[in-house]
C-alpha cells in the first residue's frame, strides 16, 4: 500500500466523521429540547476535526503525498 493512498483514505475517513458529527449536532438541535450540551460537544468535535483535517492536508502537500491538479 502506497503512503499517498493511505493518506487519502485517512482524509476520506476524517471527512466522513466530520459529516457524522454535523448530523449529530443537527439531531440534537432538533430533538433535544432541554438545556444539554450535547449539540455544543458535537459541533466542537466537528470544528476540531476540521482544523485537524486542514493541518493534515497542508502537511500532506508539503510531504508530496498529494499534489494539485493543474487543469
Domain ranges (residues) in the chain: 13-63
Cα–Cα dist 1/24, whole Å: 33
Residue 28: per-residue pLDDT: 83
Residue 70: per-residue pLDDT: 76
pLDDT, tens only, 17-66: 999 999 988 888 888 777 678 888 888 999 999 999 999 999 999 998 88
In degrees and rounded to multiples of 5, residue 44 shows phi and psi of -65, -40
Report how far apart, in Å, the C-alpha atoms of 51 and of each of 18, 28, 34, 37, 58 are. Answer: 11, 22, 29, 21, 11
Amino acid at each position: 500500500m502506497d503512503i499517498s493512498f493511505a493518506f487519502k483514505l485517512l482524509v476520506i475517513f476524517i471527512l466522513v466523521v466530520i459529516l457524522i458529527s454535523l448530523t449529530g449536532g443537527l439531531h440534537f438541535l432538533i430533538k433535544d429540547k432541554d438545556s444539554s450540551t450535547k449539540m455544543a460537544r458535537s459541533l466542537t468535535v466537528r470544528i476540531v476535526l476540521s482544523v485537524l483535517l486542514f493541518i493534515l492536508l497542508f502537511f500532506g502537500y508539503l510531504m508530496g503525498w498529494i499534489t494539485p491538479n493543474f487543469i
